[in-house]
Amino acid sequence: MRGSVDGLGSSAPLGAMLPAVFADDDLAQRFVAGLDEVMAPILNVLDCLPAYFDPALAPVDFTRWLADWVGAETDGTEPEPRLRAAVAAAAYLHRVRGTRHGLAEAVRLAFGVEPEITESGGATWSARPLGPFPGERRPYLHVTLRLPAPGPADEHRLNALVAAARPAHMPYTVTVTAAERIQER
C-alpha cells in the first residue's frame, strides 16, 4: 500500500520554495516540513509514474487494478508472476480474441497449462467454384484442460474464460480433468 512512509523525503521540499522573507522563519519552515511529509508519497508516485504502468515493475496491488483497467482475464487468485504476465499480454490477447490461438493463449496464461481445443471450423481453397466447404456443418468448440490437481472452481473459471475469449457465434463446452502422471521406472 502506498501512503505515509516514515522518513521519506520530498523530492521538492516546500521550504526551499518559500519567499526569501520566510527562509529564516523557523515556524514557517517547520509548518511546510509537515506538508512535505504529507506530499512526499504523492510526489514519489509521480516521480516513478512510468514504472506504475509497467506490469513487471508496478506494485502488486496496482497491478491488480491495472489488470481490470486493461481487461486482462484474471480472477484475483493467480500467483503474482501469472498476474503480471496476463497484464502484459492483455493488449495482444484483445487483438487475437475470437481465434483459436487467442483462446489457447488466454487459457495458458490463466492456468499455466496448454489446453486441448477441438472445433468445427476449417479453411481451404479450391480452383473450382462450388467446391466442398471445410469443417462441419454445425459449429462447436470444446476445450479440455488437464490440471495436476483440479479443483471444483477450475471448471467454472475455464467456462467463464472460454465464454469471454471464444468466437461470439460458437457454442462451446469445457472439461477439466486430472493430468496423467508419468511413472518413472
* Residue 23, φ and ψ in degrees, nearest 5: -60, -35
**Is it the case that residue 7 has pLDDT exceeding 80?**
no
Query: Cα(125)–Cα(175) distance, rounded to whole angstroms?
Result: 33
Spell out the residues 6+ positions from residue 95 whose beta carbon is closer than 8 angstroms to its own. Answer: 102
Model confidence pTM above 0.95:
no
2 pLDDT exceeds 80?
no
Q: Is the pLDDT of residue 68 over 60?
A: yes
Backbone angles phi, psi at 118, to 5 degrees: -120, 140
User: Would the pLDDT of 69 be above 60?
Assistant: yes
Rounded to the nearest integer, the mean pLDDT of the chain is 86
pLDDT on residue 184: 56
For the stretch 23-46, what's the b/e string if a residue is b when 16 or more beta carbons lie within 10 angstroms of its beta carbon? Answer: eeeeebbeebeeebbebbeebbee
- CA distances to 76, 86, 119, 125 from 110, rounded to whole Å, are 11, 7, 21, 35
pLDDT for the residue numbered 135: 75
Q: In the predicted model, is pLDDT for residue 9 greater than 80?
A: no
> What is the pLDDT averaged over residues 151-161?
90
The pLDDT tens digits of the residues spanning 15-36 come to 888 888 888 888 988 888 888 8
pLDDT score at 156: 92
For residue 67, what pLDDT is reported?
A: 92
